[in-house]
Structure 1
Amino acid sequence: MQTFDKPDLPGNWTCDFNTGVGEWSLGGIWLDRQGARLAVRVAQHHCNAFGVMHGGALATFADGQALAVRTYSGGADDHTPTVSLSVDYLGGAPLGSWVVADVTLLRTTRTLLFTQALVTADGKPVARTSAIYRNFKGKDAQ
């Protein structure tokens, strides 16, 4: 299954971020910066023995929520490390579904970004998350 297929969802989606290589790679992360959303299609290698997205893969996806509310230049000094991530699992994201995080920027300080997201799979809630990221150089989020 291709993880680089464009989401058939309303919004201005671009796939300008790839999570890297390896078995747990999410592949291409689709961003809708205007809507502060990110999305990924659940592929076989994301799934557990029950055919739904593994909780660790879902948490990895949720950890990218800063991408939806901040611009990145791609430089080494543009890193936003995670200080804290909390995930409350509400349901399963089946193979082939689009997992979408609707991200809310709660607060930006000189050193931290505070976010929360509701994560859905084909429109059904699967997780509620909150995260705190280190904000180097005091960059403001969008």
Structure 2
Amino acid sequence: MSDDIAAPASFEIPEGYTALDWRRGFGRQIGPLYRRARGESYTMGFRVEEHHTNGMKNAHGGMLMSFADMAWGHIVSVETSSYWVTVRLTVDFLSSAQLGDWVEGESEVLSRADDLYVVRGRIWAGDRTLISGTGVFKPIQRREPRPGERAFKSE
């Protein structure tokens, strides 16, 4: 039997996090992913499971970068209630996450101009920063606000 197939891991979700209900597409494939709201701050998280790892049992760099894209771009959803696309994502890989680690990420808006959001973000596990970087995101289609989001407004 191949060691590439494993049952989903059983673990405790940190307090305040709720599962994102993504049932289709790429988000479903790399999940489960979670979100926590604290006032105006939004953090996303995931537990490193077998399907997130590389041959060394660390979170694959592609998984971490995909997570950074979603965690950092999430602020556009919150502020505009719109779907968005990534224009640019620049990351520095600083440390690794091991199988079983709880990984978190968040961003802050640096500027909003010409319908583009420039953000600075960080991804971490415990006290280790895994990735730092910046992203440029563009809202592309309005939609009904989800819980915790603001109604769409053009800048």
The TM-score, its normalising length taken from structure 1, stands at 0.78
Aligned to 2:64: 58
From 97, 108, 114, the counterpart of 1:93: 97
Q: 1:10-47, CA deviations, whole angstroms, 9 ceiling, x for partnerless residues? A: xx32223437457x922122112333211111110110
From 67, 80, 94, the counterpart of 2:74: 67
3-state SS of 2:77 partner = coil
Q: 1:92-140, CA deviations, whole angstroms, 9 ceiling, x for partnerless residues? A: 1000101101311212234111111111113311111211011236945
Identity of aligned residues (%): 23
Once residues 2 and 104 of structure 1 are traced to their aligned partners in structure 2, the CA distance between those partners, rounded to angstroms, is: 31
**Unmatched runs of 5 consecutive residues or more in structure 1:** none
From 93, 106, 121, the counterpart of 1:117: 121
Q: Cα distance 1:70–1:121, how it changes in 2: closer, same or farther (>3 A)? A: same
**Unmatched runs of 5 consecutive residues or more in structure 2:** 1-7, 143-151
The answer as to whether partners of 1:103 and 1:116 remain within 8 angstroms in 2 is: yes
Q: How does 1:1-142 map to 2 (within 5 A)?
A: 1-2=8-9, 7-9=13-15, 12-18=16-22, 20=24, 25-34=29-38, 35-64=41-70, 65-68=72-75, 70-71=77-78, 78-136=82-140, 139=152
Once residues 120 and 111 of structure 2 are traced to their aligned partners in structure 1, the CA distance between those partners, rounded to angstroms, is: 10
- 1:48 positional shift: 0.6
Q: Cα distance 1:120–1:101, how it changes in 2: closer, same or farther (>3 A)? A: same
Aligned residues: 133
- 1:66 positional shift: 1.7
The TM-score, its normalising length taken from structure 2, stands at 0.72
Say which one has the larger Rg: 2
- 1:84 positional shift: 0.2
CA RMSD across the alignment: 2.8
Once residues 130 and 18 of structure 2 are traced to their aligned partners in structure 1, the CA distance between those partners, rounded to angstroms, is: 23
Q: Cα distance 1:82–1:123, how it changes in 2: closer, same or farther (>3 A)? A: same
